[in-house]
A and B are shown apart, each in its own frame.
Chain A
Amino acid sequence: MEQLTIKNLTKKYRHDMILDDLSFTLEPAKIYGLLGRNGAGKSTLLNIISNRIFPTSGEVRLGDDVVNDNDDVLSKIFLMSEANLYPRGMKVSQTFDLADVAYGNFNYDYAKQLAELFELDPQAKVTNLSTGQRTISKLIVALAVDVDYVFLDEPILGLDANHRDLFYKELVKTYQEKPRTFVLSTHLIEEIQQLVEHVLVLHNHHLIIDEDTDEMLAKAYAVSGPAKLVDQYTDGLRVLKKESIGNIQTSYIFDHLDDQRVIPDQVKIDHYDLQHLFMYLTDGREG
Protein backbone atom coordinates (compact mmCIF):
# COMPACT_ATOMS: atom_id res chain seq x y z
CA MET A 1 0.00 0.00 0.00
CA GLU A 2 1.20 3.48 -0.79
CA GLN A 3 0.76 6.74 0.99
CA LEU A 4 -1.65 9.41 -0.10
CA THR A 5 -0.04 12.81 -0.53
CA ILE A 6 -1.95 16.07 -0.56
CA LYS A 7 0.19 18.86 -1.90
CA ASN A 8 -0.49 22.62 -1.93
CA LEU A 9 -4.20 22.03 -2.22
CA THR A 10 -6.29 25.18 -2.64
CA LYS A 11 -10.01 25.50 -3.28
CA LYS A 12 -11.84 28.74 -3.97
CA TYR A 13 -15.47 29.25 -4.86
CA ARG A 14 -15.50 32.52 -6.84
CA HIS A 15 -13.76 34.82 -4.38
CA ASP A 16 -14.34 32.74 -1.26
CA MET A 17 -11.34 30.83 0.02
CA ILE A 18 -12.39 27.35 1.25
CA LEU A 19 -9.05 25.57 1.57
CA ASP A 20 -5.81 27.51 1.56
CA ASP A 21 -2.67 25.65 0.50
CA LEU A 22 -3.02 22.37 2.43
CA SER A 23 -0.18 19.87 2.43
CA PHE A 24 -0.14 16.62 4.37
CA THR A 25 0.17 12.87 3.90
CA LEU A 26 -2.01 9.95 4.90
CA GLU A 27 -0.22 6.71 5.62
CA PRO A 28 -1.44 3.22 4.83
CA ALA A 29 -3.24 1.20 7.51
CA LYS A 30 -3.83 3.98 10.00
CA ILE A 31 -6.98 5.43 11.57
CA TYR A 32 -7.23 9.20 11.34
CA GLY A 33 -9.61 11.77 12.79
CA LEU A 34 -10.40 14.76 10.60
CA LEU A 35 -11.82 17.48 12.82
CA GLY A 36 -13.14 20.91 12.06
CA ARG A 37 -16.07 23.14 12.91
CA ASN A 38 -19.10 23.39 10.65
CA GLY A 39 -18.08 24.98 7.37
CA ALA A 40 -14.36 24.41 7.95
CA GLY A 41 -14.09 22.64 4.60
CA LYS A 42 -13.85 18.99 5.73
CA SER A 43 -16.34 17.72 3.17
CA THR A 44 -14.76 19.81 0.43
CA LEU A 45 -11.39 18.30 1.26
CA LEU A 46 -12.74 14.75 1.25
CA ASN A 47 -14.56 15.37 -2.03
CA ILE A 48 -11.39 16.64 -3.66
CA ILE A 49 -9.32 13.69 -2.42
CA SER A 50 -11.85 11.27 -3.89
CA ASN A 51 -12.07 13.20 -7.15
CA ARG A 52 -15.71 14.25 -6.80
CA ILE A 53 -14.80 17.92 -7.14
CA PHE A 54 -11.68 19.61 -8.44
CA PRO A 55 -9.23 21.77 -6.57
CA THR A 56 -8.45 25.29 -7.76
CA SER A 57 -4.80 24.31 -7.55
CA GLY A 58 -2.60 21.64 -6.01
CA GLU A 59 -2.78 17.87 -6.33
CA VAL A 60 -3.49 14.56 -4.66
CA ARG A 61 -1.27 11.57 -5.31
CA LEU A 62 -1.40 7.93 -4.32
CA GLY A 63 2.23 6.88 -4.37
CA ASP A 64 3.48 8.53 -7.55
CA ASP A 65 0.17 8.55 -9.36
CA VAL A 66 -2.05 11.60 -9.57
CA VAL A 67 -5.55 10.78 -8.37
CA ASN A 68 -7.34 13.15 -10.74
CA ASP A 69 -9.41 11.10 -13.21
CA ASN A 70 -7.21 8.05 -12.75
CA ASP A 71 -9.62 5.11 -12.45
CA ASP A 72 -6.98 2.67 -11.25
CA VAL A 73 -6.10 4.88 -8.34
CA LEU A 74 -9.68 5.91 -7.62
CA SER A 75 -10.70 2.29 -7.22
CA LYS A 76 -8.53 2.25 -4.07
CA ILE A 77 -10.22 5.29 -2.49
CA PHE A 78 -13.76 5.20 -1.12
CA LEU A 79 -15.74 8.14 0.24
CA MET A 80 -18.86 7.64 2.32
CA SER A 81 -20.63 10.97 2.45
CA GLU A 82 -23.93 12.57 3.31
CA ALA A 83 -24.79 13.11 -0.34
CA ASN A 84 -27.20 10.53 -1.71
CA LEU A 85 -25.86 9.37 -5.02
CA TYR A 86 -28.14 6.40 -5.60
CA PRO A 87 -30.98 6.44 -8.11
CA ARG A 88 -34.60 6.34 -6.91
CA GLY A 89 -35.97 2.95 -6.09
CA MET A 90 -32.59 1.32 -5.59
CA LYS A 91 -32.45 -1.44 -3.00
CA VAL A 92 -29.79 -1.63 -0.30
CA SER A 93 -28.48 -4.87 -1.81
CA GLN A 94 -28.05 -3.14 -5.16
CA THR A 95 -25.76 -0.56 -3.58
CA PHE A 96 -23.52 -3.52 -2.70
CA ASP A 97 -23.47 -4.50 -6.39
CA LEU A 98 -22.56 -0.94 -7.37
CA ALA A 99 -19.61 -0.97 -4.99
CA ASP A 100 -18.55 -4.34 -6.34
CA VAL A 101 -18.59 -3.02 -9.90
CA ALA A 102 -16.76 0.20 -9.06
CA TYR A 103 -14.15 -1.10 -6.60
CA GLY A 104 -14.11 -4.86 -7.14
CA ASN A 105 -13.99 -7.76 -4.71
CA PHE A 106 -16.85 -6.50 -2.52
CA ASN A 107 -17.20 -8.56 0.66
CA TYR A 108 -20.83 -9.70 0.34
CA ASP A 109 -20.59 -12.10 3.28
CA TYR A 110 -19.49 -9.37 5.64
CA ALA A 111 -22.10 -6.95 4.25
CA LYS A 112 -24.83 -9.51 4.88
CA GLN A 113 -23.55 -10.14 8.38
CA LEU A 114 -23.47 -6.39 9.08
CA ALA A 115 -27.02 -5.96 7.76
CA GLU A 116 -28.15 -8.59 10.26
CA LEU A 117 -26.25 -7.02 13.14
CA PHE A 118 -27.67 -3.58 12.35
CA GLU A 119 -31.11 -5.05 11.62
CA LEU A 120 -31.34 -3.58 8.15
CA ASP A 121 -33.28 -5.35 5.43
CA PRO A 122 -31.08 -5.57 2.31
CA GLN A 123 -34.23 -5.65 0.19
CA ALA A 124 -35.45 -2.27 1.49
CA LYS A 125 -35.37 0.66 -0.87
CA VAL A 126 -32.76 3.28 0.03
CA THR A 127 -35.22 6.14 -0.47
CA ASN A 128 -37.60 4.64 2.10
CA LEU A 129 -35.00 4.41 4.84
CA SER A 130 -34.86 6.70 7.89
CA THR A 131 -31.80 8.93 8.39
CA GLY A 132 -30.19 6.41 10.73
CA GLN A 133 -30.97 3.46 8.47
CA ARG A 134 -29.57 5.29 5.47
CA THR A 135 -26.36 5.92 7.42
CA ILE A 136 -26.23 2.21 8.26
CA SER A 137 -26.65 1.19 4.63
CA LYS A 138 -23.76 3.48 3.65
CA LEU A 139 -21.61 2.27 6.53
CA ILE A 140 -22.09 -1.33 5.48
CA VAL A 141 -20.79 -0.48 2.02
CA ALA A 142 -17.89 1.50 3.49
CA LEU A 143 -16.82 -1.38 5.75
CA ALA A 144 -17.23 -4.13 3.15
CA VAL A 145 -15.75 -2.36 0.12
CA ASP A 146 -12.26 -3.48 -0.91
CA VAL A 147 -10.12 -0.33 -0.95
CA ASP A 148 -6.96 0.97 0.75
CA TYR A 149 -8.40 4.32 1.82
CA VAL A 150 -11.85 4.76 3.36
CA PHE A 151 -13.09 8.27 4.07
CA LEU A 152 -16.09 8.51 6.38
CA ASP A 153 -17.82 11.88 6.35
CA GLU A 154 -20.20 12.00 9.33
CA PRO A 155 -20.33 8.22 9.65
CA ILE A 156 -22.67 8.25 12.65
CA LEU A 157 -25.30 10.70 11.50
CA GLY A 158 -28.62 9.69 13.06
CA LEU A 159 -27.27 6.54 14.73
CA ASP A 160 -28.46 5.74 18.24
CA ALA A 161 -25.95 4.91 20.98
CA ASN A 162 -26.26 1.15 20.45
CA HIS A 163 -25.59 1.38 16.75
CA ARG A 164 -22.68 3.78 17.24
CA ASP A 165 -21.19 1.30 19.68
CA LEU A 166 -21.66 -1.48 17.15
CA PHE A 167 -20.11 0.61 14.40
CA TYR A 168 -16.94 1.38 16.41
CA LYS A 169 -16.63 -2.29 17.29
CA GLU A 170 -16.97 -3.42 13.69
CA LEU A 171 -14.60 -0.71 12.51
CA VAL A 172 -11.86 -1.97 14.83
CA LYS A 173 -12.63 -5.55 13.88
CA THR A 174 -12.42 -5.09 10.13
CA TYR A 175 -9.39 -2.82 10.53
CA GLN A 176 -7.58 -5.59 12.38
CA GLU A 177 -8.57 -8.28 9.93
CA LYS A 178 -7.51 -6.20 6.96
CA PRO A 179 -5.50 -3.12 7.95
CA ARG A 180 -6.32 -0.12 5.74
CA THR A 181 -6.63 3.57 6.28
CA PHE A 182 -9.80 5.07 7.72
CA VAL A 183 -10.37 8.80 7.99
CA LEU A 184 -13.22 9.67 10.33
CA SER A 185 -14.74 13.10 10.04
CA THR A 186 -17.15 13.66 12.90
CA HIS A 187 -18.25 16.07 15.60
CA LEU A 188 -18.53 13.35 18.24
CA ILE A 189 -14.91 13.76 19.25
CA GLU A 190 -15.29 12.13 22.66
CA GLU A 191 -16.34 8.89 21.01
CA ILE A 192 -13.40 8.64 18.63
CA GLN A 193 -10.57 9.96 20.81
CA GLN A 194 -9.41 6.42 21.64
CA LEU A 195 -9.84 5.16 18.11
CA VAL A 196 -7.82 7.60 16.09
CA GLU A 197 -4.06 7.34 16.02
CA HIS A 198 -3.53 10.65 14.30
CA VAL A 199 -5.50 13.91 14.24
CA LEU A 200 -5.97 16.51 11.52
CA VAL A 201 -7.72 19.78 12.38
CA LEU A 202 -9.02 22.17 9.75
CA HIS A 203 -9.66 25.71 10.87
CA ASN A 204 -10.01 29.01 9.03
CA HIS A 205 -9.11 27.31 5.71
CA HIS A 206 -5.85 25.94 7.13
CA LEU A 207 -4.64 22.66 8.52
CA ILE A 208 -3.71 23.75 12.04
CA ILE A 209 -3.02 20.30 13.49
CA ASP A 210 -1.37 17.25 11.90
CA GLU A 211 -0.17 15.23 14.86
CA ASP A 212 -0.38 11.88 16.66
CA THR A 213 -3.22 11.78 19.20
CA ASP A 214 -0.85 10.70 22.00
CA GLU A 215 1.52 13.57 21.37
CA MET A 216 -1.29 16.10 21.24
CA LEU A 217 -2.85 14.95 24.49
CA ALA A 218 0.55 14.87 26.19
CA LYS A 219 0.71 18.65 25.68
CA ALA A 220 -2.84 19.33 26.86
CA TYR A 221 -2.42 20.55 30.44
CA ALA A 222 -4.97 22.31 32.62
CA VAL A 223 -3.04 24.37 35.16
CA SER A 224 -5.16 25.76 37.99
CA GLY A 225 -4.61 27.73 41.18
CA PRO A 226 -4.29 31.34 42.29
CA ALA A 227 -4.30 33.48 39.10
CA LYS A 228 -0.97 35.13 39.76
CA LEU A 229 0.89 31.86 40.38
CA VAL A 230 -0.75 30.19 37.37
CA ASP A 231 0.24 33.07 35.09
CA GLN A 232 3.79 32.98 36.42
CA TYR A 233 4.10 29.25 35.99
CA THR A 234 2.66 29.27 32.45
CA ASP A 235 4.51 32.39 31.30
CA GLY A 236 5.77 31.95 27.75
CA LEU A 237 3.80 28.73 27.18
CA ARG A 238 1.03 28.49 24.64
CA VAL A 239 -2.18 29.21 26.59
CA LEU A 240 -5.35 28.46 24.61
CA LYS A 241 -7.90 29.57 27.17
CA LYS A 242 -8.27 30.92 30.67
CA GLU A 243 -11.21 30.41 33.00
CA SER A 244 -11.59 32.00 36.42
CA ILE A 245 -13.79 31.52 39.42
CA GLY A 246 -12.99 34.25 41.92
CA ASN A 247 -9.24 34.32 42.26
CA ILE A 248 -8.79 30.75 41.08
CA GLN A 249 -7.78 30.45 37.48
CA THR A 250 -7.46 27.52 35.13
CA SER A 251 -5.20 27.98 32.12
CA TYR A 252 -5.50 25.45 29.31
CA ILE A 253 -2.05 24.89 27.88
CA PHE A 254 -1.11 23.29 24.58
CA ASP A 255 2.61 23.00 25.05
CA HIS A 256 5.31 21.03 26.80
CA LEU A 257 5.78 22.16 30.38
CA ASP A 258 9.11 23.58 31.42
CA ASP A 259 10.68 20.92 33.65
CA GLN A 260 13.02 23.50 35.15
CA ARG A 261 10.17 25.49 36.66
CA VAL A 262 9.10 24.59 40.16
CA ILE A 263 5.40 23.91 40.43
CA PRO A 264 4.05 26.03 43.29
CA ASP A 265 2.26 24.11 46.05
CA GLN A 266 -1.12 25.72 45.40
CA VAL A 267 -0.99 24.97 41.69
CA LYS A 268 -2.61 21.81 40.36
CA ILE A 269 -1.84 20.28 36.96
CA ASP A 270 -4.16 17.91 35.10
CA HIS A 271 -4.65 16.77 31.55
CA TYR A 272 -7.75 17.54 29.50
CA ASP A 273 -9.35 15.67 26.62
CA LEU A 274 -9.33 15.95 22.83
CA GLN A 275 -12.80 17.46 22.61
CA HIS A 276 -11.83 20.40 24.81
CA LEU A 277 -8.50 20.78 23.09
CA PHE A 278 -10.34 20.98 19.78
CA MET A 279 -12.78 23.57 21.16
CA TYR A 280 -10.03 25.79 22.51
CA LEU A 281 -7.96 25.47 19.32
CA THR A 282 -10.88 26.48 17.12
CA ASP A 283 -12.45 29.18 19.28
CA GLY A 284 -11.73 31.80 16.67
CA ARG A 285 -9.07 33.62 18.63
CA GLU A 286 -6.43 31.15 17.56
CA GLY A 287 -5.54 29.88 14.12
Chain B
Amino acid sequence: MQFNFDESAPLYQQIADQLEEMIFAGGFDEQAQVPSTTQLSQQLHINPATVLKGMNMLVDKGLLEKRRGLGMFVKEGAQQKIMEQRKESFYNDYVKSLLVEADKLGITKQHLLELIERGEHDGTINH
Protein backbone atom coordinates (compact mmCIF):
# COMPACT_ATOMS: atom_id res chain seq x y z
CA MET B 1 0.00 0.00 0.00
CA GLN B 2 1.60 3.24 -1.13
CA PHE B 3 0.26 6.66 -0.28
CA ASN B 4 1.60 9.84 -1.81
CA PHE B 5 0.66 13.17 -0.34
CA ASP B 6 1.15 16.66 -1.75
CA GLU B 7 -0.29 20.09 -1.07
CA SER B 8 -3.07 19.86 -3.65
CA ALA B 9 -5.92 19.22 -1.21
CA PRO B 10 -6.55 18.84 2.50
CA LEU B 11 -4.88 15.73 3.87
CA TYR B 12 -8.12 13.99 4.88
CA GLN B 13 -9.38 14.46 1.31
CA GLN B 14 -6.22 12.91 -0.09
CA ILE B 15 -6.58 9.94 2.26
CA ALA B 16 -10.17 9.46 1.11
CA ASP B 17 -9.21 9.81 -2.58
CA GLN B 18 -6.35 7.36 -2.39
CA LEU B 19 -8.32 4.76 -0.44
CA GLU B 20 -11.09 5.12 -3.00
CA GLU B 21 -8.58 4.61 -5.81
CA MET B 22 -7.30 1.45 -4.09
CA ILE B 23 -10.83 0.10 -3.75
CA PHE B 24 -11.54 0.91 -7.38
CA ALA B 25 -8.33 -0.72 -8.57
CA GLY B 26 -9.21 -3.86 -6.63
CA GLY B 27 -6.54 -3.35 -3.97
CA PHE B 28 -9.22 -4.15 -1.43
CA ASP B 29 -11.94 -6.61 -2.32
CA GLU B 30 -15.55 -5.91 -1.48
CA GLN B 31 -16.41 -7.06 2.03
CA ALA B 32 -12.70 -7.01 2.86
CA GLN B 33 -11.36 -5.13 5.82
CA VAL B 34 -9.37 -1.96 5.16
CA PRO B 35 -6.50 -0.91 7.45
CA SER B 36 -7.70 0.63 10.70
CA THR B 37 -7.33 4.28 11.60
CA THR B 38 -4.74 3.13 14.11
CA GLN B 39 -2.67 1.28 11.53
CA LEU B 40 -2.80 4.04 8.96
CA SER B 41 -2.03 6.88 11.34
CA GLN B 42 0.90 5.03 12.87
CA GLN B 43 2.31 3.96 9.55
CA LEU B 44 1.95 7.36 7.89
CA HIS B 45 2.56 9.53 10.98
CA ILE B 46 -0.77 11.23 10.45
CA ASN B 47 -2.96 12.57 13.21
CA PRO B 48 -5.64 9.94 13.88
CA ALA B 49 -8.36 12.60 13.69
CA THR B 50 -7.30 13.36 10.11
CA VAL B 51 -7.31 9.70 9.06
CA LEU B 52 -10.71 9.21 10.67
CA LYS B 53 -12.09 12.23 8.82
CA GLY B 54 -10.89 10.76 5.52
CA MET B 55 -12.35 7.34 6.30
CA ASN B 56 -15.66 8.86 7.32
CA MET B 57 -15.89 10.62 3.96
CA LEU B 58 -15.92 7.18 2.34
CA VAL B 59 -18.50 5.96 4.84
CA ASP B 60 -20.68 8.92 3.88
CA LYS B 61 -20.21 8.08 0.21
CA GLY B 62 -21.39 4.55 0.92
CA LEU B 63 -18.07 2.91 0.03
CA LEU B 64 -16.98 1.80 3.49
CA GLU B 65 -18.96 0.54 6.43
CA LYS B 66 -18.14 0.36 10.12
CA ARG B 67 -18.70 -2.99 11.74
CA ARG B 68 -18.94 -2.55 15.44
CA GLY B 69 -15.92 -3.88 17.27
CA LEU B 70 -14.42 -5.23 14.06
CA GLY B 71 -13.30 -2.26 12.03
CA MET B 72 -13.87 -0.73 8.65
CA PHE B 73 -14.92 -2.82 5.62
CA VAL B 74 -15.43 -2.24 1.91
CA LYS B 75 -19.13 -2.23 1.21
CA GLU B 76 -20.67 -4.58 -1.26
CA GLY B 77 -21.11 -2.85 -4.60
CA ALA B 78 -18.46 -0.22 -3.78
CA GLN B 79 -16.53 -0.70 -7.01
CA GLN B 80 -19.66 -0.35 -9.08
CA LYS B 81 -20.59 2.75 -7.16
CA ILE B 82 -17.21 4.37 -7.79
CA MET B 83 -17.53 3.50 -11.46
CA GLU B 84 -20.91 5.22 -11.66
CA GLN B 85 -19.69 8.29 -9.81
CA ARG B 86 -16.68 8.55 -12.08
CA LYS B 87 -18.74 8.20 -15.22
CA GLU B 88 -20.87 11.03 -13.98
CA SER B 89 -17.91 13.31 -13.37
CA PHE B 90 -16.20 12.23 -16.60
CA TYR B 91 -18.17 14.79 -18.58
CA ASN B 92 -17.30 17.64 -16.23
CA ASP B 93 -13.71 16.63 -15.49
CA TYR B 94 -12.58 15.64 -18.98
CA VAL B 95 -14.99 16.43 -21.77
CA LYS B 96 -15.64 20.03 -20.79
CA SER B 97 -11.98 20.92 -20.28
CA LEU B 98 -11.07 19.11 -23.49
CA LEU B 99 -13.49 21.32 -25.41
CA VAL B 100 -12.26 24.51 -23.71
CA GLU B 101 -8.63 23.72 -24.55
CA ALA B 102 -9.51 22.68 -28.09
CA ASP B 103 -11.34 25.94 -28.59
CA LYS B 104 -8.32 27.94 -27.35
CA LEU B 105 -6.13 26.12 -29.87
CA GLY B 106 -8.60 26.57 -32.70
CA ILE B 107 -9.15 22.84 -33.09
CA THR B 108 -12.41 22.13 -34.89
CA LYS B 109 -14.89 19.45 -33.90
CA GLN B 110 -13.95 17.42 -36.98
CA HIS B 111 -10.24 17.64 -36.12
CA LEU B 112 -11.01 16.67 -32.51
CA LEU B 113 -12.81 13.52 -33.62
CA GLU B 114 -9.86 12.65 -35.85
CA LEU B 115 -7.51 13.11 -32.89
CA ILE B 116 -9.59 10.75 -30.75
CA GLU B 117 -9.45 8.15 -33.53
CA ARG B 118 -5.71 8.66 -33.84
CA GLY B 119 -5.34 8.15 -30.09
CA GLU B 120 -7.21 4.91 -30.30
CA HIS B 121 -5.15 3.80 -33.29
CA ASP B 122 -1.84 4.65 -31.59
CA GLY B 123 -2.79 2.32 -28.80
CA THR B 124 -3.15 4.96 -26.09
CA ILE B 125 -6.03 2.83 -24.99
CA ASN B 126 -4.81 -0.64 -24.26
CA HIS B 127 -7.39 -3.26 -25.01
| Chain A residues within 8 Å of B, Cβ to Cβ | 31, 165, 168-169, 172-173, 175-176, 191, 194-197, 214, 217-218, 220, 265, 270-273
Q: Is the interface of B mostly helix, strand, loop or mixed?
A: helix
- The tally of residues in B whose CB lies under 8 Å from a CB in A reads 20
0/1 interface trace, chain B 23-45, chain A, CB 8 Å (1 if under): 00000000000000110011111
Q: CB within 8 A of A218: which of B10, B48, B49, B104?
A: B10
B48 touches A172 (CB 8 A): yes
Q: CA of A197 to CA of B43 in the docked complex: distance in angstroms? A: 17
Q: CB within 8 A of B11: which of A31, A165, A169, A194?
A: A194
A residues in contact with B104, CB < 8 Å? 265
| Chain B residues within 8 Å of A, Cβ to Cβ | 5, 7-12, 37-38, 41-50, 104
Q: CB within 8 A of A217: which of B10, B37, B47?
A: B10
Q: CA of A175 to CA of B52 in the docked complex: distance in angstroms? A: 14
A168 touches B38 (CB 8 A): no
B residues in contact with A195, CB < 8 Å? 45-47
Chain B's closest residue to A169 (CB) is B42
A176 touches B38 (CB 8 A): yes
Report A265 CB to chain B, min CB distance, Å.
Answer: 8
Going nearest first, the 9 A-B pairs with the smallest beta carbon separation are: A271-B7, A168-B45, A194-B46, A172-B42, A172-B41, A197-B47, A169-B42, A173-B42, A273-B7
Q: CB within 8 A of A214: which of B8, B11, B41, B43?
A: B11
Q: CA of A265 to CA of B101 in the docked complex: distance in angstroms? A: 11
Q: CA of A176 to CA of B37 in the docked complex: distance in angstroms? A: 10
A176 touches B41 (CB 8 A): yes
